[in-house]
Amino acid sequence: MASCEEVSHVGFHEDGLAALAWVERYLESVRERPVLARVKPGGLRAALPARAPEQAEPFADLLRDLEELVLPAVTHWQHPRFFAYFATTGSEPGILAELLTAALNNVGILWRTSPALQELEEVTTAWLADLLGLPQGWHGQLEQGASIATLAALAAAREARPGHRVVACSEHAHSSVDKACRLLGLEVRKTPADGRFRLRPDALDLDGCCAVVATVGTTSSTSVDPVPAVADACAEKGVWLHVDAAYAGSAMVCPEFRWAFDGVERADSLVVNPHKWLSTPQGCSALWTRRPDELRAAFSLVPEYLRAPDAVVSHSEYGPELGRTFRALKLWAVLRCCGRAGLQARIRESVRQAALFEQWVRDDPGWELCAPRPFSVVCFRRNGSDAANEALLGRVNATGKIFISHTRLAGRYVLRLAAGNARTTEADVRQAWDVLREAAPRV
Ligand SMILES: *Cc1c(COP(=O)(O)O)cnc(C)c1O
C-alpha cells in the first residue's frame, strides 16, 4: 500500500484538475439547488462511517461523497438567492488564493516564521484603508472575524483604562460585543436607540466606561450610529471608541456612502469584514487601530522558545492568536483581481437591487417597510400579525427558491432581505418578491 504522501504525489495533478472542475461546476449550477439545506439534524452524521478509514482512500471517493452526501447538507451561501443575514461572496480569485494559501501552509507565529504573511497583511490592510478613505498610518491586521477583532479591541480598551469595566453600545449592537465583554469580564451597558435605530448620544452614560462600541451598519437594520457625537463624548472622558463596521464598512469603497464613515477617523479602533461584502472568502476581518501600543500591551506574551533577535514586532503580539493563518493572500488576490472599480461596481449593484426591492414593497399596500435602507438590506413585513409573518418566513424558505431571515425592530417581527451576493441578478431579486407574494396570506 502506498503511503499517503506517495498517493497524493502520484494523483495530485489529476485530483487537482478534478477538484477545480468540481468547483467550476458547483459555482455554475449552484442557482439550481435549494438555497437552504433540507436535511434533518444528524442526517449527514448517520450517512458517514463512524470511524476514519484504516487504509488510504482515493481523493476521487471524497469528491463523490462530497457531491452525494455532503452537498445535500450544505446551505448554499454562494447561491444568488441567498438573501439571509448578510449575503456574501467567495469570489473566484479568493477561491484560488485559498488553494495557494494551503499550499504554502504558513503559520504566522513570528515575523521570521513568515515575513510574507506579516508584511502582506500590513500592505493589504493599508491598501484597504486607502480604498475606504481611512486615515493613513493606522496599524492594520487581519483576524478570523469581527467577533475576534472586537474582542481584541476591547481587550486593548480595558488595558488602556484600568479600573473601568463597562462597555457602552447601542441596544442594536452585535452580540459579539456581549460575548467579548463576557470573556473579558466587562459589563455591557445598552444605550437606547432613536426611531431610526441609531444610538442616542444624549442617552450615553460613560460612567465607569473603558470603551464605547458604535456601529456603522447594525445587524438588524443596517442603521448608522452618530459616530461624531459619540467620538465627542469619548474624547471628553478619555474613553476608547471602537467602531464596528463589519458589514457596511465595505461600502466605503464608494464615495457616495462615505457619509456613514463621518467621524470614524477619530476612532481608536475599527473593524470591517472583507469576508462579508468585499468578495473575500470567509475568515478575513480587518482590524485597524491608531493605538497599537495598547493592543500590544493587552496581548504581548513571548515565551523563551519564541524569542528571536529580529527587530520586528510580530502580529501575534497584537491579538489572541499565536499561529496566525495567511489571510492576507486572499485579500490581496481580491483587491488586485477586482480593483477599486470592480469592488465599487459590486457594492453599487447590491444597493441598486435592494433599492428596487424596497420600491416594490413600498408600492404594494399589502406590505410595509420597517426601517430606512441606507445600504443593501431591506426590512419589511406583510400586513398582519407577527405570527403570520413568522409563518410566511417559514413557507418562503421551505420553497428552497430563496433564503431570507428575520429580526425584531421596535418589538415587531420583521423580515430582512439582504442583497450582496455577486451572482445575484435583478431577476433573482424579482423572483424573491414573487415567492414572497405567492406565499403571503391574502389580506
Ligand atoms: C457580521 C457582524 C459581526 C460578526 O462578524 P463575524 O465576522 O461573523 O464575527 C459583528 N458586527 C456586525 C455589525 C456584523 O454585521
In a domain, 86, yes or no: no
Give the Cβ contact number of residue 424 at 10 Å.
Answer: 23
Out of 276, 285, 327, 405, give the residue to mutate to test ligand 1, the one with the largest number of ligand atoms within 8 Å of its CB: 276
The continuous run of DSSP H or E covering 191 comes out as strand 187-191
> What pLDDT score was predicted for residue 1?
37
Q: What is the CA(283)–ligand 1 centre distance, in A?
A: 11
* 3 state DSSP class of 68: helix
pLDDT in tens, the chain (443 residues): 345 555 555 689 999 999 999 999 999 999 999 999 999 999 999 999 999 999 999 999 999 999 999 999 999 999 999 999 999 999 999 999 999 999 999 999 999 999 999 999 999 999 999 999 999 999 999 999 999 999 999 999 999 999 999 999 999 999 999 999 999 999 999 999 999 999 999 999 999 999 999 999 999 999 999 999 999 999 999 999 999 999 999 999 999 999 999 999 999 999 999 999 999 999 999 999 999 999 999 999 888 888 888 888 899 999 999 999 999 999 999 999 999 999 999 999 999 999 999 999 999 999 999 999 999 999 999 999 999 999 999 999 999 999 999 999 999 999 999 999 999 999 999 999 999 999 997 75
DSSP state of 442: P
The atom number, within ligand 1, closest to the CA of 245 reads: 13
Residues of the chain by 3-state class (helix, strand, coil), percent to 5: 50, 15, 35
For residue 292, CA distances in Å to 137, 231, 443 come to 11, 19, 57
Whose grid coordinates read 457602552?
Answer: 168
In-domain check, residue 26? no
Secondary structure (3-state) at 201: helix
Q: Cα–Cα distance between 349 and 32 in angstroms, integer?
A: 22
15: buried, middle or exposed (CB in 10 Å: 19+, 13-18, 0-12)? middle
Q: Which atom of ligand 1 is nearest to the CA of 285?
A: 7
- Contact residues for 341 (Cβ-Cβ < 8 A; gap 6+): none
In a domain, 422, yes or no: no
C-alpha to C-alpha distance for 81 and 35, rounded to whole angstroms = 7
Grid coordinates given for 258: 462615505
Q: Which residue puts its alpha carbon closest to atom 12 of ligand 1? A: 246
Eight-class DSSP state of 316: G
Closest CA to 380 of 349, 412, 350, 423: 412
Ligand 1 geometric centre to CA of 246 (Å): 5
Question: Would residue 115 count as lying in a domain?
Answer: yes
Residue 193 lies in a domain: yes
Q: What is the pLDDT of residue 10?
A: 62
Structural contact between residues 215 and 199, judged by C-beta atoms closer than 8 angstroms: yes
Integer Cα distance of 408 and 415 in angstroms = 8
Residue 283, judged by CB atoms within 10 A of its CB (0-12, 13-18, 19+), counts as: middle
List all residues 6 or more positions away from 434 whose beta carbon is below 8 Å from its beta carbon: none
Q: Find the domain containing 209 and state its range.
A: 95-335
Ligand 1 pocket check: which of 167, 169, 174, 213 to mutate, most ligand atoms within 8 Å of Cβ?
174
Compute φ and ψ for 142, nearest 5 degrees. -110, 130
For ligand 1, the distance from its centroid to the CA atom of residue 178, given in whole angstroms, is 12
Nearest ligand 1 atom to alpha carbon 176: 10
How far is the C-alpha of 219 from the C-alpha of 16, rounded, in Å? 38
Q: Whose CA is nearest to atom 2 of ligand 1?
A: 246
CB 295 within 8 A of CB 318: yes
Which of 167, 273, 282, 375 maximizes ligand 1 atoms within 8 Å of its Cβ, making it the mutation to test the pocket? 273
Which residues, 6 or more positions from 145, have their beta carbon under 8 angstroms from its beta carbon? 273, 275, 283, 285
- Residues enclosing ligand 1, CB less than 6 A? 86, 145-147, 174, 176, 215, 217, 219, 244, 246-247, 273, 285
Does 264 reside within a domain?
Answer: yes
Q: Which atom, in ligand 1's list, is nearest to the CA of 144?
A: 7
Atom of ligand 1 nearest to the CA of 247: 15
Give the Cβ contact number of residue 293 at 10 Å. Answer: 14
pLDDT in the model for residue 2: 42
| Domain membership flag for residue 382 | no
| Residue nearest to ligand 1 atom 5, measured at CA | 146
For residue 234, the domain's CATH number is: 3.40.640.10
Could you give the number of structural domains in the chain? 1
The answer to the question of residue 113 being in a domain is yes
Burial (CB < 10 A; 0-12, 13-18, 19+), residue 153, is: buried
